[in-house]
Structure 1
Amino acid sequence: MARISSIFGKPENRLRPVWQAAVPDHVIGVAWAPDGARLAVAAVSGPIVIFDANTGKPVHQHKGHGFGTAALAWQPAGGALLASVGQDNKVRLWDTAAGQEAKALDAGASWAEKLAWHPSGQYLATAAGKKAKVWSAAGDLVRELPAQAGTVMDLKWRPGTNSLTLLAYGAATTYDPLTGSEPVKVLAWKGSPLAMAWSPDGKILAHGNQDSTVHFWYFDEARDLQMWGYKTKVRELAWEFSSRYMATGGGPVVCIWDCQGGPNGPEGTKPTMLVGHESEANITALAYQARGFLLASTALDGRVLLWQPTNRKGAQVGEFQFTGGESSVVAWSPDDKSLAAGAGTGAVAVFRAG
C-alpha cells in the first residue's frame, strides 16, 4: 500500500459522554435493541448485562456462556430476543422482556463464535467449527449446511436476499438455506480469510485476510481484486451506507477505499489514510453509521475516535480515552445518534455523537 498524504486537522470533539458503566471483564460485544432503549454488553468470561441505554443502569444480567461468550446480536425488526454464542456448545436465546433464558440450542461444536440474524428477524444463522446452522426465531432448526474446508470464520446474509455467505479457508460460499443446502455460488480464493462485510447494496463482498490483504468480490460477475500492504492481518471492515466507501483496519491507520473511484472500483487507487491512533496501536473495531457519514474506530491505545472522512477541514471530529487498556468494540444506535463502546478493562461508555 502506497504511503499517501494523511488527512489531519485539529479535532473538535463531537463525542459527548452520556454514561459509563462496567461489566466483569473484557468487553467482547455490544448490541443495541432495535428501539434503542437497551444495550446488551457481553464480557469475554461469559456474563451478559442488559443496560438501560438512557441511564446506564443495569436492567438484567444473564449468565451467558460457560467458558466464555463469543458474540451476541439482537433480533431485528422489533424482536425481543437476544441471541448469543460461546464456548459451551450452545446457541442461547434470551427473553429480554422477562429477563430470562428462552432456549438453549446445540451449536454443533464446542466453540461457537459467529451469529447473524436475517434482517426480517425470522431466522438466525450460527457458526461453530466447520459448520453453520440456520434456526427459526422460535429455535427450530431450519437447515444445517455442509461442512466447509476449514473453520467458518464469519457468516453474513447478503443484503436484500435470503442468501447466506460462509467464509472459510479457500472460499466464500453462498447458500439459500431456506430452500436447500447446495451452494448457489462459490468464490474460491487460496488463502485464510478472517472477516467479511457485504456492501449495503449487496454488490460487493469484501474480506480481510491472514496474509495482511483485503479481497473484493463483485459478486454477480465473480470478479475479484485485492489490496495489500497492511501492517497486520485484517479483521476490521466497515461499509458506508451508500456502498461507495469501505473502511479497513489492519494496523494503526484507518484506510478508506473509494469503491466507485474508477471503472474498476478501488483497483489501482490509493486509499485515504486516517491517522489518529497511536503509531503502534492497531485498530480493533470500525463502525459506520447506518445512514450517515460518521465513522467510529477503536484501537489498542484505548481511544475511541470519531471521523468524518470526507470533511476536508479535518477528518477527526471526536475522541474519548478509556484508561488502563484497549478499546475493543463499538456500535451505533439504530437512530445513528448514539455510540456505544467497550474496553478491555470491562468499561462501557455511551456517547451522543453530533
Structure 2
Amino acid sequence: MSNWRLSSLVALLLSLVSLNLVTHPHAQNQSTLEAETLWQFGQGTIYDFDWVGQNLILATNTGLWLTDATFKQPLIRLDQGIAVAQGVRSNQDGTRIATLNGDAIFRVIDVKTGEVKVSSPYIGALVMAWQPKGDVLALSDLEGKQNRVILWDSHSGKQTEVVGTYSANVVTLSWNPDGNLLAIGLANGEIVIQDMTTHKPIKEFTADTANIHAVVWSHDGHKLAVTLLGDVPLNIWQTDTFERVKGSFDAHFAREIAWNDDSNQIAGALVDGSIKIWNIATDQITILYSANNAPYFDLIEHLAWHGDQLAILDREHHLEVWNIVQYSVVGESKAFTEYLKAMAVSPDGKLIALYYKNSYDVLVVDTVTGNLEKTLNLPRPLEGSQLGWSPSGEQLAFSGSTLVIWQIQKDADQVPIEVEDVDRFSWSPDGKLAVMSRYTGLDKVPVRFVDAKTGEVSTTTHDVEGLIDVLWSPDGKRIAFYKYNRPSEDVEVTRAQIDVWDVQKDVTITVKLPYMGSFRLEPDETFRWLADSSGLIGFTGAGMLWRWHLNDAEADAVAASGPIEPINPAPLIWFDINRGGNLLAVSNPTVDHTTIMDAASGQALLNMDEFATLPYLLEWGKDNQLFLYDGAVHSYQIKNS
C-alpha cells in the first residue's frame, strides 16, 4: 500500500474534534415532516421463484408474491415486513415455503395465511432443499471456516443434524423422491450421495474438474443430472449403477436444468442462452427457443417444470411460463422489472422518465396518476446510467456510451439524435449539453458541448485529467467537475476532488473540504449545486455533509459523519436537493432508513423506515413530491405534519 493511501487511512481514524460544524439555530425549530403515499409503479425485481401447486411464488426485492401461471389474476402479497426476498423454495405439498431474505433471516411461511411459522438468523446459507414428504430442510451452512450441510426442523426452527463437513463450498443440494438420499454438489466438482437413514455417504465421485453448478434428481429417482461451469457437457447418471446415460445431449453445455414429471425429458438452458428439451427415451432434442433470441451469454437464471408448464427466469429478471405441449408462452411477469438504473423528473414536474437495466426502452410516467404515458425506443441496446430533461422540458437525454436525445413534443415515431462516445452529461439553462467521454483512467478528457436540437458537437479547449462527472450550475455560468487525482504525498491532494470552471472567464477553482486530523477529507461523487447557484452541497466518503460557497476558501462541515471504517469504507450516499433548496432526501446504506434533512443544518426531519436496505435512487419533483425506488417506484408528497 502506498504511503499516500496508508496515511489517508490513518487520518480517517482520527476524531472529528477538529471539524468546526456550522450551526443554524433557526433550523432547530423547523417542524417535522410526514410523507403521504401517492402511487407505486412496478412490482419489483424477481430474484427467484418456485411452483406452489398450479401457482408461482416469487421472491423479489419488494417481498414475496403469489401469482397464477398466466399472471392475469391480481398478485397476492404473501409476506409481512420482508423487505427483500432473495430465495424461495416450496415444500412438496405446497403448504409452506422457505425463504432466504435480505435481512439475513431464514423464514418458513404458511402459504395459505402468510404467517411466519419460524424464523432464524443464518450464516452462509446459500442453497436449501425440502425433504420430500417431510418437514425437514437441508441447508448449506458456514461455521467458522467449515462448509457444512445441516438438517433443520421447519416446525421448531432448530438444527437437528449435521450431515457432513466439506473442503469446498456447497453449491447445490437435491433429495431423491423417497427422501432417504441427499445429493450434495461441491464447488470443486465432487458429488457426495448421503444415505440419510444410515447417516453415511454411499457414493462419492468427481463429475469433472470444473465447478459444479447444479445437481438435480429425477422425479422417478432413477437418474441424477449434473451441470458444471465451463465448457462441460451435461452429465446424467443412472443411480442404481452410476453409469453415464449417453445421448445426443452430450455435446451441449447446459447450466440450468429441470426434469419433467415423468422423468423422461429434461430441459436445459444452454450457455448461449437457448433452451432445449432432450427426450431421453427417443434421444430427440427439441429447441424451445433459439440462441438467436438471447441478448447475452448465459441468459437463464432458473428453470422449474410443473406438468405441461415450464417456468423460466432469465438474467434480466423476467419470468416466462411456457406450455411445452403447445410450445407457446402462457404467462409473463410484465409487472416486474430489472433494476432501475436512472430516473429524471421533467422541469414542470408532470412526467418522470425511467430506464431499467438491459431495457430497450425509456418509460415516461405521469407523476400525478403513476400511469405510463409513453415509451421511447432506444435505437439499439445500450447500457445507460443517466437520464436528464432539458430545462424547457422539450428534450430528454439518455447516456450510455452513446448520447441519445429525443424531442419530446414531436411525433412518437421520430428518430432520436445520437452522439457517440458520451458517458455523462449536464444541461445548461439555454438547452446546451456539456458532455464527457467514458472514464479511461487519469488521462485528460476534453469537455464538449452538444446542441440538443441538431446534435452538433463543439470541443472546448478545457481538458480535465481523471474526469468522472460534469454538473452545470442552474444559472449556466459554471460547470463543476468531479475528478480523480494521481497519488501524491501532498496532504492537500485528495484521491478525488471537485473543480469549478467559470465558463466565461475560463477560470478554475478547487473545492477544498475541511481537514480531519492532518489530512483533507474528499467528496463523494454525489454532489449538487445549491438552487441559487451560489455553491455546492454534498457528502464525504466518511458520511459528513458539507456545503461550499463560491467565495469560501474552504467548505463548511454542516453535519458530522458517523463511525468511520477505513478497511470497509461506507458505500456511496445517494441524495437530492429539492427545488426550493431547503430539503435533502438522503439514502445512506449504513443506516436503516431514507432521511429527509434540513439542507441548512443537516437536521433530520423525517425517517422513512421502509427504504432501508440499498442505496436507492431518489429524486425530488415539483412542490416537494418525492420519488423513491426500492424495486418499485414510489411517489410521496412530503409535507409538514
- TM-score, normalised to structure 2, is 0.39
Q: Which residue of 2 aligns with 1:103?
A: 118
Q: Which residue of 2 aligns with 1:165?
A: 183
Cα root mean square deviation, aligned: 3.7
Farther off after superposition, 98-107 or 147-156: 98-107
The AA in structure 2 aligned to 1:115 is M
Q: Which residue of 1 aligns with 2:106?
A: 91
The AA in structure 1 aligned to 2:203 is K
The offset of 1:284, in angstroms, is: 3.4
CA distance in 1 between partners of 2:172 and 2:51 (Å): 20
CA distance in 2 between partners of 1:32 and 1:223 (Å): 31
Q: Which residue of 1 aligns with 2:125?
A: 112
Q: 1:70 to 1:344 in 2, by over 3 A?
A: farther
Question: Contact 1:125–1:132 at 8 Å: present in 2 too?
Answer: yes
Q: Which residue of 2 aligns with 1:56?
A: 74
State which of 58, 63, 80 in structure 2 corresponds to 1:41. Answer: 58
The offset of 1:147, in angstroms, is: 2.0
1:155 aligns with 2:170: no
**CA deviation string 1:93-137 (max 9, x = no partner):** 224455443222354x3x322222122132111223532211223
Question: Contact 2:219–2:259 at 8 Å: present in 1 too?
Answer: yes
Gaps of 5+ in 2: 1-39, 340-356, 360-630, 633-641
Question: Contact 1:69–1:87 at 8 Å: present in 2 too?
Answer: yes
CA distance in 2 between partners of 1:183 and 1:300 (Å): 35
Q: Which residue of 2 aligns with 1:252?
A: 273
CA distance in 2 between partners of 1:60 and 1:279 (Å): 32
Q: Which residue of 2 aligns with 1:228?
A: 251
The offset of 1:191, in angstroms, is: 2.2
> Matches of residues 271-286 of structure 1 in structure 2 within 5 Å?
271-276=285-290, 278-281=293-296, 282-286=299-303
1:69 aligns with 2:85: yes
CA distance in 2 between partners of 1:203 and 1:167 (Å): 18
> Matches of residues 313-324 of structure 1 in structure 2 within 5 Å?
316-318=327-329
> Matches of residues 262-277 of structure 1 in structure 2 within 5 Å?
271-276=285-290
Question: Contact 1:238–1:286 at 8 Å: present in 2 too?
Answer: yes
The AA in structure 2 aligned to 1:40 is I
Q: 1:318 to 1:75 in 2, by over 3 A?
A: closer
Q: 1:32 to 1:258 in 2, by over 3 A?
A: closer
Q: 1:77 to 1:307 in 2, by over 3 A?
A: closer
1:124 aligns with 2:143: no
The AA in structure 2 aligned to 1:73 is R
The offset of 1:91, in angstroms, is: 2.4
Farther off after superposition, 272-281 or 137-146: 272-281
The offset of 1:158, in angstroms, is: 0.8
SS at match of 2:166: coil
SS at match of 1:147: strand
Q: Which residue of 1 aligns with 2:430?
A: none
Q: Which residue of 2 aligns with 1:205?
A: 224
Question: Contact 1:115–1:126 at 8 Å: present in 2 too?
Answer: yes
SS at match of 1:227: helix
Q: 1:296 to 1:140 in 2, by over 3 A?
A: closer
The AA in structure 2 aligned to 1:317 is S
CA distance in 2 between partners of 1:344 and 1:126 (Å): 33
1:194 aligns with 2:213: yes
Question: Contact 1:276–1:305 at 8 Å: present in 2 too?
Answer: no
CA distance in 2 between partners of 1:256 and 1:131 (Å): 34
The offset of 1:62, in angstroms, is: 2.8
- TM-score, normalised to structure 1, is 0.67
The AA in structure 2 aligned to 1:275 is Y
Q: 1:95 to 1:196 in 2, by over 3 A?
A: same
Q: Which residue of 1 aligns with 2:260?
A: 240
Higher RCO structure, 1 or 2 (CA under 8 Å, sep 6+): 1
Question: Contact 1:154–1:194 at 8 Å: present in 2 too?
Answer: yes
Farther off after superposition, 242-251 or 219-228: 219-228
Gaps of 5+ in 1: 1-20, 310-314, 328-342, 348-354
In the comparison of the two structures, how many residue pairs are matched?
A: 286
CA distance in 1 between partners of 2:102 and 2:76 (Å): 25
Question: Contact 1:49–1:62 at 8 Å: present in 2 too?
Answer: no
CA distance in 2 between partners of 1:300 and 1:78 (Å): 26
CA distance in 2 between partners of 1:144 and 1:222 (Å): 26
The offset of 1:305, in angstroms, is: 5.9
Q: 1:237 to 1:62 in 2, by over 3 A?
A: same
The AA in structure 2 aligned to 1:198 is W
The AA in structure 1 aligned to 2:100 is V
SS at match of 1:260: coil
CA distance in 2 between partners of 1:58 and 1:179 (Å): 42
CA distance in 2 between partners of 1:136 and 1:90 (Å): 15
Report sequence identity in percent: 20
Q: 1:306 to 1:299 in 2, by over 3 A?
A: same
The AA in structure 2 aligned to 1:147 is T
CA distance in 1 between partners of 2:287 and 2:154 (Å): 41
Farther off after superposition, 249-258 or 193-202: 249-258
Q: 1:254 to 1:207 in 2, by over 3 A?
A: same
CA distance in 1 between partners of 2:93 and 2:302 (Å): 25
Q: 1:241 to 1:77 in 2, by over 3 A?
A: closer
**CA deviation string 1:147-204 (max 9, x = no partner):** 2232211111112241111111221211133542x21221322221111221211111
Question: Contact 2:45–2:62 at 8 Å: present in 1 too?
Answer: no
Q: Which residue of 2 aligns with 1:332?
A: none
Q: Which residue of 1 aligns with 2:163?
A: 145
**CA deviation string 1:278-302 (max 9, x = no partner):** 1435233333333x4x444454575
Question: Contact 1:173–1:183 at 8 Å: present in 2 too?
Answer: yes
User: If you compute each CA radius of gyration, which structure gives the higher value, 1 or 2?
Assistant: 2
Question: Contact 2:218–2:263 at 8 Å: present in 1 too?
Answer: yes
Q: 1:143 to 1:178 in 2, by over 3 A?
A: farther
Q: 1:242 to 1:322 in 2, by over 3 A?
A: closer
